Amino acid sequence: MRFKKIFLLLGLAGTLPAQIVMQTSTDSILTHRVERDADGRLLPWFQPHVPGAAYAHVAQLASEFLLNSVPVYEPLGVKMYFITCCFQGPQMTQNNEFIAEDWMHNPACVWAGLVQSLVLDYRVYSGDKSYIDLVRGMLDFQLEHGLTPADWVWPDVPYASADPFVITYQGAMRWETDGMRGDGLHCIEPDKIGELGIAFLNFYKVTLEERFLTAAVHCADALAEHVRDVRPGPPPFSESSTIKSPWPFRVNARNGLIVSEYCSNVIEPIRLFDELLRLQHRLNIASEQTIAYQKARDLAGEWLFSINGPMKTSIWNAYFEDVPNDPDRSNRVQITPLETLRHLIKHPQLDPNLDKDAPALIHWVASNFATEGMDAIKEQTWCYAPMGSHTARYASLCALWYEYTQDDWYKDQAERFFNLATYMCHPNGVVSVGPDWPGSWWSDGYGDYIRHFMEGLAAIPEWAPVDQDHLLKSTSVIQALEYSPKQTSYTTFDAEAVEVLRLTKKPSTVQSGITFLKERTNLDAPGWTWKKLNKGGVMQVRHSSGEVRVIK
C-alpha cells in the first residue's frame, strides 16, 4: 500500500518530502524515549511496568483523535479522512499543522477497519456511543459518493480507491499508466466488496438501519454473480493452477473487463456469505439469493484449501490498492494469511487441520516479514518496511492462538510485538505508520491499528485495566451498553451469545432477560463463570436472551 513513499525516498517520483526516515538512535522511537526492563527487553512507552496498560491507552488516544481532532480539509469542507489516505501530523510539520498528502485514497478498507475498531470494539470497551455517529457518517459518505451505478455489470458496489482531493470515488485515475496503481477509472476490488460488505452488515446489526443491510446484500449479490470456479480437478494427478482466483483482484465495474486476475483474499467474501446465510430467515433473504450465496461460498472455500489456493501454495498475493498489477504473482503480503487465520481460529470447525495451519501461518509471517533487531512486522515484499498496524496484527494473532492453546510462547510474542507497536502512537493520538515512517495513514494508524489492541485485551483479559469494568468481546454484536458503578448492562443482536468481561469485583447477580443466571464451572449451558485475578477477575457469561445485566 506504500509505493509512493518508497519512490519518494529514492527520488524516483513526486515532490513530497521523503517519508522513510531511518532510525539512528537506540534511545528513542519516533517521539518516545525507549523503555526497557532489566534484561534489555523493550517495554511500552506508557506505564511500562504495568502489562497491557499501554495497549488500552494507545487505543484510547487513537480513537479519541478520530472522534475529536481530525482536521477539516478546507477547500472541500470535509474531514480529511474523506479525501486522502494519509497525512503529515504536527510532529512532522514546521508550523505544527496537519498536511493532507497527495496519494490515492483507500476508503473501503478504512471504513471497514473503523467499523471493527470503533463501533464493534472500542465503543463497547469504553461505553461511548458517539462512535456510532462518527462511523455512520463515513459509511453514508461511501453510499452517497462511492458506489457503482445500478445498471453496470458490477452494480451498487463500493469502490476501493479514489483520487485524492475529490468527493466522488470512482477508482484512482492518476496512476493508471503506472501499472494501474489505484485500480483506474471505474475499477473495483472484489475482495474489498466483501470486506466493506461484512462491515455494512455488522453496522446494521448495531443500528438496525435498513440502508446498511441493503448495501451488504448488494455486495453479496454481486460477488455471487461473478464468482469463478477455479478449483483443481480430481486428485491425485490433477495439475494445480495459480493464475486465477475465485474473484479477480481488479475488474472494471462498468464492462466487466478483468484488469488483474489473482487475489488470495477470499476470506472477506466468505465472512459476508456465511453471516447472511446464518441470518437468512431473520433477514428475509430470498431462497434464490441464499442458493447463490452458498454456491459462491463453497467455491471460494474449497479453492482456499485446495492445491490451487494459498493455504497450500502460500501465494498470499494482492491486497493493497496502490501496488501495480502483478501478473507473475511475485509479491507477498502478510495481511491476508493472518486475517484468514483470525476467522479460522474463531470458527475452528472450518479447518480440521487448524492445529497445524495456525502455527504454520504465524511462523510463515514471522519468518518472511520479520525486522532485524526489532520486534516488528513488515507490510509486504513490495514495501518491505516495518509498520505498527501489521506488527499489532501479528501480536493479536499470537494472543488469539495463546488463548486457544495456552502455549506461553505465543503470549510472549504477543507482548513483545504489541509493546513495539505502542510507540507508533503519539500522545496527541496521531499514529505514525512505522518506526522509520513518521507520516500517518487512516488505515495503518486507525482502522487497522486500534482493533488489534482490542483483540489482544479480549484474548488475554488480565492485560485489561484492573480498576475498571470492561466488556471485552462477544460472539454477537453489542447493540447498546451502559457502565455504571453498580452494574453493567448491555443488549446483543443475537439472543444466544457468550461474552467476556473484565470486572473489578465478582458479580452478585447476573440476569438475562427475566432469567437469573447461575454461576457454573463451565459454559455448557446458560450461566456464568468467574476467574479470580490479583485484582478483580474475568467473567464469562452465556445467555439465551439478548438483554443482560451484571450487578455487583
pLDDT digits (tens, 9 = 90+) for 318-349: 999 999 999 999 999 999 999 999 999 999 99
SS3 assignment, position 205: helix
For residue 471, the one-letter residue type is: L
Residue 476 to residue 496: CA distance in whole angstroms: 8
The secondary structure of the chain in percent helix, strand, coil, rounded to multiples of 5, reads 40, 20, 45
- Residue 20 has a pLDDT of 64
pLDDT (0 to 100) of residue 17: 38
User: Could you tell me which of 319, 334, 330 has the C-alpha nearest to residue 364?
Assistant: 334
How does strand 383-387 pair with strand 478-483?
unpaired
Q: Give pLDDT, residue 442.
A: 99
Residue 96's pLDDT is 87
**Alpha carbon distance 348, 269 (integer Å):** 18
pLDDT score recorded for residue 8? 35
Query: Given a cut of 70, is residue 153 above it in pLDDT?
Result: yes
Evaluate the CA torsion angle 195, 197, 198, 202 in order and state its sign.
positive
The pLDDT tens digits for 479-514 are 999 999 999 999 999 999 999 999 999 999 999 999
For the segment 364-377, the average pLDDT, to the nearest whole number, is 98
Nearest to 339 by CA among 398, 271, 267, 423: 267
Instruction: Check: CB of residue 59 under 8 Å from CB of residue 451.
Output: no
What is the pLDDT, as a whole number, of residue 387? 98
Q: How far apart are the first and last CA of the chain?
A: 47
Which amino acid, one-letter code, is at 432?
S
Per-residue confidence (pLDDT) for residue 91, from 0 to 100: 86
104-137: b or e for each residue (b if 16 or more CB lie within 10 Å)?
bbbbbbbbbbbbbbbbbbbbbbbbbeebbebbbe
- Is the pLDDT reported for residue 4 higher than 80? no
Average pLDDT over residues 149-158: 99
Cell of 448: 487497522
Q: How far apart are CA 440 and CA 101, in angstroms?
A: 9
Average pLDDT, the chain: 95
Task: Answer yes or no: is pLDDT of 18 > 60.
Answer: no
Per-residue model confidence (pLDDT) at position 300: 99
Predicted confidence (pLDDT) at residue 159 exceeds the cutoff of 50: yes
CA–CA distances in Å: residue 518 to residues 498, 506, 515: 14, 13, 9
Which pLDDT value is given to residue 92?
85
pLDDT in tens, 160-218: 999 999 999 999 999 999 999 999 999 999 999 999 999 999 999 999 999 999 999 99
Q: What local confidence, expressed as pLDDT, does residue 242 receive?
A: 96
Q: How far apart are CA 144 and CA 140, in angstroms?
A: 6
**CA dist., res. 337 & res. 358, Å (int):** 10
- Give the pLDDT band (50/70/90) at residue 226: very high
Q: What is the pLDDT of residues 96-146, one digit of tens each?
A: 899 999 999 999 999 999 999 999 999 999 999 999 999 999 999 999 999
191-225 in b/e form (b: 16+ CB < 10 A) is bbbbbbbbbbbbbbbbbeeeebbebbbbbbbbbbe
Q: Which of residues 21 and 185 earns the better pLDDT score?
A: 185
Query: Residue 188 is which amino acid?
Result: I
Q: Is the pLDDT at 9 greater than 60, yes or no?
A: no
Contact 334, 340 (CB under 8 A): no
For the beta carbon of residue 441, count every other beta carbon within 10 angstroms.
Answer: 28
Give mean pLDDT, residues 26-50.
95
Q: How far is residue 492's CA from residue 481's CA, in Å, rounded to a whole number?
A: 9
Residue 10 has pLDDT above 80, yes or no: no
pLDDT score of 11: 30
